[in-house]
Amino acid sequence: MSGNIRLLSDTLAAARAEDRAALVAYLPAGFPTVEGGIEAVKAVLDGGADVVEVGLPHSDPVLDGPVIQTADDVALRGGVRIADVMRTVREAYEATGKPVLVMTYWNPVDRYGVERFTAELAEAGGAGCILPDLPVQESGLWREHAEKHGLATVFVVAPSSRDERLATITAAGSGFVYAASLMGVTGTRESVGGQAADLVRRTRATTDLPVCVGLGVSDAAQAAEVASFADGVIVGSAFVKRLLDAEDQAAGIAAVRELAGELARGVRRTP
């Protein structure tokens, strides 16, 4: 099976054709357990997310705030492995037919082997990978193997990125561009507006790829705000917090399904 970059592109194009932003959800693999994590990923897709990012838990997640760090710690203490991440991708994709990406820091991929990682991700039905700490100038080997296996390579841009840097990053990427709405780590915010809108505008000037905004969105009103200027709205910490706060696994899965529905309604209207 080749990768699902075309499915990802078609999904984002279909949302645009409906005059709305796509809803992209993030959940870490192995949290609260491997099986529970798989059910949670399926739930957000069934609840209304168009795309899901499956996080590969890491011991030093530099982009992630305390909520996702807590979930990663639970997953790592539970013994989650890359094989469990691939299983999560496979089962979520086979159950829903929707695009599933992996979000990971570079070190685990480098240690596992780029060829092995890309081959297994494609075989599992994955659509691609988001690599927040891989510099574009050092990404040649990854991109070679990702392209061979039909996988998107999604890079992260930030408000601090200068225009020429944005052009370099977007020229190397595929699938979509992940625009970090503000400087800092993941987590819910009171507002996600000004800097993000400007970053989307500057990024679009360099590429035809969809630009999806993440870091800070937690409710339908914020999703609607971001949907008014971005091609996709990425939500992670708010989903993870629902799982963390739930009294048991079943309640957590119901809660993330409900939140996905609320956010899906949010991206279908403007504030």
Query: Which of 39, 50, 53, 84 is flagged as catalytic?
Result: 53
CA dist 195 and 28 (Å) reads 27
Q: With contact defined as beta carbons under 8 Å apart, do 102 and 85 qualify? A: yes
Mean pLDDT on 142-155:
97
Mean pLDDT is lowest, of 182-191, 228-237, 245-254, for 182-191
- What digits encode the pLDDT tens for the residues 22-69? 999 999 999 999 999 999 999 999 999 999 999 999 877 666 678 888
Active site annotation includes 53: yes
Mean pLDDT on 124-132:
97
CATH number at 2-266: 3.20.20.70
Nearest in space to 80 (alpha carbons), one of 65, 59, 64:
59
Could you tell me where the beta strands, DSSP code E, fall in 138-257?
152-154, 156-157, 177-180, 211-214, 232-235
Mean pLDDT on 114-142:
97
68, HSE (Cβ side, Cα atoms, 13 Å):
29
Which band of pLDDT confidence, cut at 50, 70 and 90, is reported for residue 192?
low
Mean pLDDT on 76-98:
96
Question: Residue 253 is inside which H or E element, if any?
Answer: helix 249-266
Which band of pLDDT confidence, cut at 50, 70 and 90, is reported for residue 216?
confident
Distances in Å between the Cα of 49 and the Cα atoms of 26, 32, 250 are 10, 20, 19
Active site annotation includes 64: yes
Residue 67: predicted pLDDT: 85
Residue 188: predicted pLDDT: 45
Residue 186: predicted pLDDT: 46
Query: Which of 39, 64, 225, 231 is flagged as catalytic?
Result: 64
Could you tell me the sign of the dihedral formed by the alpha carbons of 241, 247, 250, 255, in that order? negative
Q: Is the pLDDT of residue 1 over 80?
A: no
Residue 193: predicted pLDDT: 61
Task: Tell me the average pLDDT of the chain.
Answer: 92
Quote the pTM value: 0.94
Helix (H, G, I), strand (E, B) or coil at 188: coil
